[in-house]
């Protein structure tokens, strides 16, 4: 029997958001299915790229938030 794996299931496995049993089953499926293995590798590459991203708010935005908070605290 051929099991169809959805992109959501691949992502859950890449992020280790499944049970150990499911992880083992997925690993076996990847060994038996080259296309699934390639898809998993692509998602792992994307995950690594996302993990390396870092965003920093502009100082002006931080000041606006702090000023708003200070004004809000004084009015209540």
What is the model's pLDDT at position 58? Answer: 93
Residues belonging to the chain: 76
Among residues 47, 27, 48, which one has the least CA distance to residue 37?
A: 27
Give the pLDDT confidence score for residue 11 in this predicted structure: 96
Q: How far apart are CA 37 and CA 31, in angstroms?
A: 7
Beta-carbon neighbour count of residue 46 at 10 Å? 12
> What residue segments make up the domains of the chain, in order of their start?
7-75
Q: What is the mean pLDDT of each run of 10 residues along the chain (76 residues)?
A: 82 96 95 96 96 91 92 72
């Amino acid at each position: 029997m051929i099991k169809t794996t959805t992109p959501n299931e691949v992502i859950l496995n890449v992020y280790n958001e499944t049970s150990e049993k499911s992880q083992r089953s997925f690993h076996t499926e990847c060994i038996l299915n080259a296309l699934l293995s390639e898809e998993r590798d692509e998602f792992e590459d994307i995950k690594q790229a996302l993990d390396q991203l870092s965003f920093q708010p502009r100082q002006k935005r931080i000041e606006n938030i702090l000023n708003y908070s200070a004004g809000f605290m004084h009015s209540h």
